[in-house]
């Protein structure tokens, strides 16, 4: 049936009138309901109750805290040109093993060969640390970026330049060419206590000015598997999600006490489950000052390889609790001072050593050539040593990694990767119990292994090469010999920190 224009007008008027009548009816009912209940509510004034006054004061405090802290927080967008994938599948799939805080980890990836380089974008957060426009953030937020853009709280957007990075602590400094910007107040993370209230600010999923609240759940967290050298995290239950990386963790005085860095998801969803980690601001201060001044980050080097102290070791050394750091190998300054394998370090410059991470943190904060007093337990007796620290250089790091890995015959390089046998002790320490394969001990930055979209990392397990199961170094050698003429080789990897397994396709150099 075709409706004439005049009929159509009447039709819509009728609908409108009917709708208006319904609205009037509903409003009348609600008004009557309000009249009927108003008398019963007039006597209840929650604001007059002491309990409500406390809540109102707390509410107002959160509001003022957010107003104070938000202006110095920025959103960071980073761009880089991604390399195309090597696999032939054209199916679009989600990536279950991607790092949720990797700024260039696409929500979806194409596994088909794409000859055209494509731009990938990531986002994160940061906060302004001086009026010259310096901004601190996480290194992983801007790592490998070709362009960095910063959006201020007032929505102005500027290009930023990279000033310096310290991957060992996951800290980076960028700068915008503006002055008189609002600056964050930096607190003292050494004074924080478990249970104190905090807020996290940032741009999760690019949602700027996002504030979440919680408490300090723990301090001194290490062994998280996040993959940075120095772990000494503040743990919080304030909601942290992808995009919060680099943003501030703020105490109730409006002071930044940490840099939001990562989360534990309890799975592969990448969502917040109330376990977030922040770098203590005191750790960041020293790094920040060195990077802003244009200097390289300098750290002390003791020259020890360490093993965690478990209950059995503590008992053997006469300790009532698990503390200290057990020396596995010595070199450099430690060896020159007389320390040796089997010594249990219990004090560093008069401070009790709680664990390996604590000792590493104190050594890193010390300066080269500084003389440090160290107390150890040896043969059930305490002994004191004075060690003159050296500088932790790249050469030192390479030497340490070499000494901690397998013998040379078990460390042949293939496709830029060095590996070692998966021994029982390594499997237990890294979470590979019941698994088989060989462990990656080092990867060259310019190697074929680092050119794939989901590259391996130090500590990953190689389980299969071109369909050949790898259970030992012998299997590994036979496999790489068999595929040495292949232009492309498919390799299956496993990562202990996530439990994820995945394939990569390596191309010959």
Burial 287-306 (b: 16+ CB within 10 A, else e): bbebbbeeeebebbbbbbbb
SS3 call for 450: helix
DSSP 238-290: S---TT-TTPEEEETTSEEEEEEEEE--SSSS----S-EEEEEHHHHHHHHHH
Of 79-88, 188-197, 318-327, the one with minimum mean pLDDT is 79-88
pLDDT given for residue 348 in this prediction: 97
Mean pLDDT is lowest, of 66-80, 290-304, 441-455, for 441-455
Amino acid 83: pLDDT? 57
Distances (CA, A) of 382 to 313, 314, 317, 342, 374: 16, 14, 10, 13, 10
Q: What pLDDT sits at residue 29?
A: 42
Quick check: 188 pLDDT over 60? yes
**Per-residue confidence (pLDDT) for residue 441, from 0 to 100:** 87
According to the model, what pLDDT value does residue 401 have? 55
Lowest mean pLDDT among 262-266, 318-322, 336-340: 262-266
- pLDDT, tens only, 232-255: 899 999 999 989 999 999 999 999
List Cα–Cα distances, 174 to 132, 156, 261, in angstroms.
11, 16, 17
Using pLDDT thresholds of 50, 70 and 90, give the confidence band for residue 287.
Answer: very high
| pLDDT per residue as tens digits for the range 95-114 | 433 444 444 444 333 333 44
Q: Categorize the per-residue pLDDT at 70 as very low, low, confident or very high, splitting at 50, 70 and 90.
A: very high
The confidence band for 431, taking pLDDT boundaries of 50, 70 and 90, is confident
Question: Which has the minimum average pLDDT: 3-17, 182-196, 392-406, 434-448?
Answer: 3-17
Percent of the chain scoring above 70 in pLDDT:
78
| Spatial contact of 296 and 163, defined as CB atoms under 8 Å apart | no
Residue 223 scores a pLDDT above 50: yes
The predicted pLDDT at position 85 comes to 46
Taking the C-alpha atoms of residue 377 and residue 375, their distance in angstroms, rounded to an integer, is: 7
State the SS3 of 120-165: EEEEEEEEECCCCCEEEEEHHHHCCCCEEEEECCCCCEEEEEEEEE
> Can you list the domains of the chain with their CATH numbers?
50-297 (2.40.10.120), 300-394 (2.30.42.10), 406-507 (2.30.42.10)
Mean pLDDT lowest among 5-19, 129-143, 289-303, 494-508: 5-19
Q: How far is CA 240 from CA 65, 66, 247, 261, 293, in A?
A: 18, 16, 10, 9, 31
At 45 the three-state DSSP class reads coil
DSSP string across 303-372: -EEEE---HHHHHHTT-SSS-SEEEEEE-HHHHHHT--TT-EEEEETTEEP-SHHHHHHHHHHSPTT-EE
pLDDT winner (highest mean) among 118-122, 442-446, 462-466: 462-466
Q: Specify the pLDDT at position 152.
A: 95
Mean model confidence pLDDT for the chain: 81
Q: Identify the pLDDT of residue 110.
A: 32
Which position has the higher pLDDT, 470 or 15? 470
Mean per-residue pLDDT, 346-361: 93
- Residue 263 or 338, more confident: 338
The structure's pTM equals 0.63
List, by residue number, the catalytic residues.
140, 170, 245
Q: What pLDDT does residue 215 have?
A: 97
pLDDT in tens, 369-380: 999 999 999 988
Comparing 3 with 349, which gets the higher pLDDT? Answer: 349
Q: Using an 8 Å Cβ cutoff, are 396 and 370 in contact? A: no
Band of residue 413 on the pLDDT scale cut at 50, 70, 90: confident
């Amino acid at each position: 049936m075709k409706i004439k224009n005049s009929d159509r007008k009447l039709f819509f008027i009728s609908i409108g009138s009917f709708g208006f009548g319904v609205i009037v009816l509903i409003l009348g009912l609600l008004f009557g309901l309000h009249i009927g209940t108003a008398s019963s509510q007039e006597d209840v004034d929650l604001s007059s109750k002491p309990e409500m006054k406390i809540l109102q004061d707390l509410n107002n405090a959160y509001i003022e805290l957010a107003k104070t802290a938000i202006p110095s927080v920025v959103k960071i967008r980073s761009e880089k040109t991604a390399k195309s994938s090597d696999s032939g599948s054209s199916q679009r799939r989600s990536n279950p093993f991607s790092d949720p805080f990797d700024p260039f980890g696409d929500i979806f990836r194409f596994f088909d060969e794409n000859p055209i380089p494509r731009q990938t974008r990531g986002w994160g957060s940061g906060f302004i640390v001086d009026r010259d426009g310096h901004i601190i953030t996480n290194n992983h937020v801007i790592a490998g970026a070709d362009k960095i853009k910063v959006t201020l709280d007032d929505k102005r957007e500027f290009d930023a330049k990279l000033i310096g990075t310290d991957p060992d602590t996951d800290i980076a400094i960028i700068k915008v060419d503006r002055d008189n910007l609002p600056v964050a107040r930096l607190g003292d993370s050494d004074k924080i206590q478990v249970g104190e209230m905090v807020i996290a600010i940032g741009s999760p999923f690019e949602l700027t000015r996002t504030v979440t609240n919680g408490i300090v759940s723990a301090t001194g967290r290490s062994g998280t598997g996040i993959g940075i050298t120095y772990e000494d995290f503040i743990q919080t239950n304030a909601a942290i999600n992808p995009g919060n990386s680099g943003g501030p963790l703020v105490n109730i005085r409006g002071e930044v006490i940490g840099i939001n860095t990562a989360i534990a998801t309890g799975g592969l969803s990448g969502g917040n489950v109330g376990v977030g980690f922040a770098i203590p601001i005191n750790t960041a201060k020293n790094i920040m000052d060195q990077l802003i001044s244009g200097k390289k980050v300098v750290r002390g080097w003791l020259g020890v390889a360490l093993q965690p102290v478990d209950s059995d070791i503590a008992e053997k050394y006469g300790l009532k609790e698990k503390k200290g750091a057990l020396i596995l190998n010595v070199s450099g300054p430690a060896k020159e001072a007389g320390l040796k394998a089997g010594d249990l370090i219990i004090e560093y410059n008069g401070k009790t050593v709680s664990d390996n991470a604590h000792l590493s943190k104190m050594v890193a904060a010390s300066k080269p050539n500084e003389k440090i007093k160290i107390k150890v337990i040896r043969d059930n007796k305490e002994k004191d040593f004075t060690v003159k620290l050296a500088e932790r250089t790249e050469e030192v790091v390479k030497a340490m990694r070499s000494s901690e890995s397998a013998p040379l015959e078990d460390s042949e390089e293939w496709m830029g990767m060095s590996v070692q046998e998966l021994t029982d002790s390594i499997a237990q320490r890294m979470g590979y119990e019941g698994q088989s394969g060989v462990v990656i001990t080092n990867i060259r930055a310019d190697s074929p292994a680092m050119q794939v979209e989901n590259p391996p990392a130090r500590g990953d397990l190689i389980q299969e090469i071109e369909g050949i199961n790898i259970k030992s170094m012998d299997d590994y050698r036979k496999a790489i010999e068999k595929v040495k003429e292949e232009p492309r080789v498919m390799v299956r990897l496993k990562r202990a920190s996530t439990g994820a397994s995945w394939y990569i396709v390596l191309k010959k150099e």
